[in-house]
Amino acid sequence: MMTSQKADFPADSTADSPANSKTDSTNYPLLNRQLAALLDTRDWLTNSAQLCAFLFQQVPALNWAGLYLQREEALLCLGPFQGKPACHPIPFSQGVCGAAARERQTQRVDDVNALASHIACDADSRSELVVPIVHHDTLWGVLDLDSPEPGRFDADDQAGIEALVDTFMTATDLPPLLD
Ligand code: SME
């Protein structure tokens, strides 16, 4: 349990604010073990906040990491996040987040400026990865990652982030959010 100690992060990996460039491939299996150790409450709000902070700190070259939650039918409400204040709400019919929610498929966009449907919350964002979170056949929410680097997310990043979302879901009691 982690009531009084930090997860076993590599030395100085949490000392600075977010890493600012994608270098070599990220060690997602290591991040997954660290995340599993971090999420020890089963509380959805605490774990959601921890997930976003962890990703923002540990995944290089992000300028935003957050959750949008389906708290109303076909509408995404801004949830816990790290980064600049963001767009709210987002209908399922709009944006990369809306596409992930609607299609229940991960959306990976190399150049958001080339995508007419992209919602530009921050003009600095150049690429985006959005992973749907489906629980009991209901779209619970989406995890949205933005980067100032074009083409920041490759297939390995997608698989790694999807695995981290699986760990979050396994570690968390996800309540029904719709009325
Ligand atoms: N770009 C997203 C909107 C959310 S922000 O990036 C935080 C979209 O097109 O859905």
Verify whether ligand 1 is closer than 6 Å to residue 145 (CB atom).
no
- For the chain, domains (ranges, CATH) are 28-171 (3.30.450.40)
Q: Whose Cα sits closest to atom 6 in ligand 1?
A: 121
Q: Whose Cα sits closest to atom 2 in ligand 1?
A: 119
Question: Sign of dihedral through CA atoms 80, 146, 169, 139?
Answer: positive
Give the model's pLDDT for residue 17. Answer: 42
Give the model's pLDDT for residue 21. Answer: 63
pLDDT at residue 90 tops 70: yes
Q: Which residue has the tokens 């003009």?
A: 123
At residue 5 the predicted structure's pLDDT band, cuts being 50, 70 and 90, is: very low
DSSP the chain: --SSS---PPTTTTTSSS--S--S---HHHHHHHHHHH--S--HHHHHHHHHHHHHHHSSS-SEEEEEEEEETTEEEEEEEEES-----EETTSHHHHHHHHHTS-EEES-GGG-TT---S-TT--EEEEEEEEETTEEEEEEEEEESSTT---HHHHHHHHHHHHHHHHHS-------
Give the model's pLDDT for residue 24. Answer: 64
Give the model's pLDDT for residue 22. Answer: 62
61 alpha carbon – ligand 1 mean position (Å):
16
Verify whether ligand 1 is closer than 6 Å to residue 77 (CB atom).
no
2 alpha carbon – ligand 1 mean position (Å):
33
pLDDT at residue 179 tops 80: no
More confident of the two residues 1 and 90: 90
At residue 34 the predicted structure's pLDDT band, cuts being 50, 70 and 90, is: very high
Q: Whose Cα sits closest to atom 3 in ligand 1?
A: 119
5 alpha carbon – ligand 1 mean position (Å):
34
Verify whether ligand 1 is closer than 6 Å to residue 87 (CB atom).
yes
